[in-house]
Amino acid sequence: MDELEPRQGLGADYEIVKNDLQYKSDPSQVSQHHAKQKEEMGLQNVDVAYNPNYVVSLAVDRDGIVWAGTWGGAWPASTERASQLHRCDGLPGNHVFMLHLDRKGQLWIGTNNGLARRGPDGKFARMTTHDGLFTDAVFSMDTAADGTLWVGGYGGVARIRGTQDATQQGSR
């Protein structure tokens, strides 16, 4: 089995994302497991919810690239160049909870601060509650047989009809 070691660069470095972290409570204050992991990574002085090596979502695109979502952004894990994507690259948030590939092969990234669709040019179209999402914390997504996208998060589900310009067509 091939493994990617934590030092090979999972989530973004703390210095890059420290000003954009939403969750301020530090799980290492109540969990020995979290405290030990932070110490192993040299992050024991970081007192917020940040652990770039927590891979919480995976998706494989049509090119066979494995995408990983972490507490420090998203990254193409199976490529030679593992560059992380985070807020400064256009993601709505740095805590990536969900990755989904729709029937057109578009990558959708659910974060703590909204949903993003990665276009062919690598740029992100973003969607939040202002665009029709039920919540900005997006934890799940799936595509129905008719192409409708269903997005789940805190307290409910949103339906996105059609993906021509899905960032304009959210509905609850």
Return the bridge partners of 99, or none: 109
Can you give the pLDDT at residue 59? 94
**Does any domain span residue 113?**
yes
Residue 136 in this model has a pLDDT that exceeds 80:
yes
| Residue 1 in domain | no
Half-sphere exposure of 156 (CA within 13 A, CB side): 10
**Contacts for 82 with CB less than 8 Å, ≥ 6 apart:** 8, 9, 75, 76
Amino acid at 4: L
Q: Determine which of 60-64, 85-89, 90-94 has the lowest per-residue pLDDT on average.
A: 85-89
Which CATH number does the domain housing residue 75 bear?
Answer: 2.130.10.10
> Which residues span the domain enclosing 156?
6-171
Residue 112 domain flag: yes
Asked if residue 85 belongs to a domain, the reply is yes
Token pair 């740095």 in the structure block, residue: 94
Reduced to 3 states, what is the DSSP secondary structure of residue 38?
helix
Question: What confidence score (pLDDT) does residue 161 get?
Answer: 77
Count the Cβ atoms, other than its own, within 10 Å of residue 20.
18
In this structure, is residue 104 part of a structural domain? Answer: yes
- Residues 54-73: tens digit of each pLDDT: 788 999 999 898 999 987 88
Bridge partners for 149 per DSSP: 143, 160
Q: Provide the token pair at 142.
A: 């799936």
Q: Is the pLDDT at 43 greater than 70, yes or no?
A: yes
Number of domain units in the chain: 1
Q: Is the alpha carbon torsion for 159, 161, 164, 165 positive or negative?
A: negative
pLDDT computed for residue 3 by the predictor: 55
pLDDT of residue 48: 75
Q: Determine how many CB atoms are found less than 10 A away from the CB of residue 120.
A: 8
Neighbours of 170 (CB within 10 A): 21
